[in-house]
A and B are shown apart, each in its own frame.
Chain A
């Protein structure tokens, strides 16, 4: 085609405008064509000028650029290197799958929000400086919340507001960090930042909110399961993976991130085991997967960073697939609680099959996409001597199979027969799921194509006997544990419940503290008022009972006292005149 420096967000934003004025088949065509042709254009016409050079910690990138001037400031919309290109392909792919999946939706709000959301994610990936990044960071936050509000329930409305507060906070921190960074270095170019300065920490915190770092993660598990069935598929693809991209760009080799990532990989799986809402189970397992990527960024070797990027690539596809299958169940059954589902393989066999493919991929079974990506990070952790981290990741890998690999398909499609009979998912959903399922298998079986796209040179092949055997042992014995626990009745049953997480602090503790504080202030106010009033009354009383009280002004018949006081005043005047 033409214009090899056309920023990829522009077609999406134009398409969002066109969707507003079109209807029916034409609108559908725009929804599909935008990510499809945008992606093809990127694939065929845009090449990085100079390949990436990686030292162990520092990423040096060269780029072609497309800039615009606002006042005196130059916005760089088009920084192209292998890292941005890979995420560019990936986001187009995710947008295409999500668009097909949502084709049956007749809701302008969601369609426009979806396009702007995907477009702003692309804009942020290709942003060459921190201010441009900030602009798209905010558009991303605002457009995505409409995918939650489009559920049009009160819960979704409230969850969306909480989500927006976190996202906007992240944006504000990013802007503050960017300005401080400019003050320190005289540049806003978005490359390696590091945590040597205050600015670096602020920007890390901004990225960390979006990447669902521990204690900052709750917006994700709170809001994603409240979005529409199709909205969650969009949401699962872009925000958090944009944060992973930004971390990989700005903080490779930051050791702090290894420990953060290891905690992220481990703690959500406990919650996932006892969570009833199956889309919330997937949200928790998403944090677990992000943990693997964050560890890879923290290690920061070429192998580890390649692992992170490959994992992000594989992850978006299989996570979309899992969210799509659960979305299809929600769409048909109007319920996604593990406690109420079961036996759905009878009425939704295709959805069940696709869900199992996604589950096998996220569990990193050999021949599925998770395997060829997760291996890179695990091997990198071992090579760099992070033994405890490696054991934690291994635990997380067994755990993810347990909750996402077995629990989700088992409680939705098998388990006991819930008696629910419904129809198979609509055709467009099945097409979208089959594309994602095909990619899961293709990447898993032919990893060389994905490996060739990775930003750094890679000399690794996952399919050797030792490695495959180890992975199969880990997974099959995890399955054995599931069977054994179920047979012994030790497996926690699915119950109608919520599990309190860090959100308790701002959904319960903070309002309760606020109320208690208000009550306290009110009672203090009352006490003081009472004291003053009593004092005043006592004073008044003492005046009324004194000997002078008959000259006091508050007498009921004050003529006599008035005469006295007028006498006093006139006398006063006389004396003052005499003195001056």
Chain B
């Protein structure tokens, strides 16, 4: 990254190590939350909820699908920024 502010102080995420700490922290939390499903006795209302890791997998899959579909939608709906300002 070209830094045109050489003499300013270094901020939290300027150091790539801090970013990787953050991401590693996320991995650990996810792992712990997933393991918690095996330990905690859950009072579920609906049978689907009772599957191990239901919410975790649903969240992960839902978001990946969301982004992949959005990317496809973008191919259809995206136009130039001045699309509505010019008459063809």
Q: Which of A14-22, A34-42, A136-144, A495-503 has 4 or more CB atoms under 8 Å from chain B?
A: A495-503
Are B26 and A483 touching (Cβ within 8 A)? Answer: yes
Interface hub of B11, B56, B85, B87 (most chain A Cβ within 10 A): B56
Known contacts A417-B1, A465-B40; A474 and B59 CB within 8 A of each other: yes
> Chain A residues with Cβ under 8 A from B26's Cβ?
476, 479-480, 483
> Chain A residues with Cβ under 8 A from B48's Cβ?
387
Closest to A480 in B: B30
Assembly CA distance A207 to B24 (angstroms): 47
Known contacts A270-B69, A473-B37, A498-B79; A466 and B42 CB within 8 A of each other: yes
> Chain B residues with Cβ under 8 A from A387's Cβ?
46, 48
Are B60 and A480 touching (Cβ within 8 A)? Answer: yes
Are A492 and B30 touching (Cβ within 8 A)? Answer: no
Closest Cβ of chain B to A292, distance in Å, is 16
Within 8 A of B (CB), among A472-531: 472-485, 490-492, 495-501, 507-508, 511-512
For B20-40 the 0/1 string (1 means CB < 8 A from A) is 000100110110011011001
Are B63 and A399 touching (Cβ within 8 A)? Answer: yes
Are A499 and B78 touching (Cβ within 8 A)? Answer: yes
Within 8 A of A (CB), among B34-81: 34, 36-37, 40, 42-46, 48-49, 53-60, 62-64, 66-71, 73-74, 77-81
Q: Does A470 contact B (CB under 8 A)?
A: yes
Q: Does A350 contact B (CB under 8 A)?
A: no
Known contacts A466-B44, A473-B34, A476-B29; A497 and B59 CB within 8 A of each other: no
Known contacts A346-B11, A402-B66, A485-B64; A477 and B84 CB within 8 A of each other: no
Assembly CA distance A183 to B65 (angstroms): 50
Are A478 and B67 touching (Cβ within 8 A)? Answer: no
> Chain B residues with Cβ under 8 A from A470's Cβ?
42, 49, 54-55
Interface hub of B27, B37, B43, B64 (most chain A Cβ within 10 A): B64
Are A398 and B62 touching (Cβ within 8 A)? Answer: yes
Assembly CA distance A382 to B34 (angstroms): 23
Contact of A490 among B54, B67, B85 (CB under 8 A): B67
> Which secondary structure dominates chain A's binding surface?
helix
Contact of A478 among B53, B60, B79 (CB under 8 A): B60
Are B60 and A416 touching (Cβ within 8 A)? Answer: no
Closest Cβ of chain B to A511, distance in Å, is 8
Q: Does A112 contact B (CB under 8 A)?
A: no
Closest Cβ of chain B to A498, distance in Å, is 5
For A224-237 the 0/1 string (1 means CB < 8 A from B) is 00000000000000
> Chain B residues with Cβ under 8 A from A464's Cβ?
43
> Chain B residues with Cβ under 8 A from A398's Cβ?
58-59, 62-63, 66
Known contacts A273-B67, A402-B63, A499-B79; A394 and B58 CB within 8 A of each other: yes
> Chain B residues with Cβ under 8 A from A565's Cβ?
none
> Chain A residues with Cβ under 8 A from B44's Cβ?
466
Contact of A481 among B5, B8, B64 (CB under 8 A): B64
> Chain A residues with Cβ under 8 A from B4's Cβ?
419
Closest Cβ of chain A to B74, distance in Å, is 5
Are B69 and A469 touching (Cβ within 8 A)? Answer: no
Q: Does A274 contact B (CB under 8 A)?
A: yes
Closest Cβ of chain B to A529, distance in Å, is 28
Assembly CA distance A484 to B64 (angstroms): 9
Are A419 and B42 touching (Cβ within 8 A)? Answer: no
> Chain B residues with Cβ under 8 A from A197's Cβ?
none
> Chain B residues with Cβ under 8 A from A477's Cβ?
30, 33, 55-60, 63
Q: Does A259 contact B (CB under 8 A)?
A: no
Closest Cβ of chain A to B28, distance in Å, is 10
Are A500 and B36 touching (Cβ within 8 A)? Answer: no
Closest to B4 in A: A419
Are A390 and B13 touching (Cβ within 8 A)? Answer: no
> Chain B residues with Cβ under 8 A from A481's Cβ?
59-60, 62-64, 67
Assembly CA distance A402 to B5 (angstroms): 32
Are B56 and A473 touching (Cβ within 8 A)? Answer: yes
Q: Which 4 A-B pairs have the closest CB atoms?
A: A481-B63, A477-B59, A473-B55, A273-B70
Interface residues of B (CB under 8 A from A): 1, 3-5, 8, 11-14, 23, 26-27, 29-30, 33-34, 36-37, 40, 42-46, 48-49, 53-60, 62-64, 66-71, 73-74, 77-81, 83-85, 87-88
The 25 listed contacts between A and B (C-beta, < 8 Å) are: A270-B73, A273-B67, A273-B70, A274-B71, A274-B74, A345-B13, A464-B43, A466-B44, A469-B33, A469-B42, A470-B55, A473-B36, A473-B56, A473-B59, A477-B30, A478-B60, A478-B63, A481-B63, A483-B26, A485-B63, A491-B67, A497-B80, A498-B78, A499-B79, A500-B79
16 further A-B pairs in the complex, CB-CB below 8 A; given A155-B85, A476-B30, A477-B30: A270-B66, A274-B70, A345-B13, A399-B63, A414-B13, A417-B3, A469-B37, A470-B54, A470-B55, A473-B34, A480-B30, A481-B60, A481-B67, A495-B78, A497-B78, A499-B73
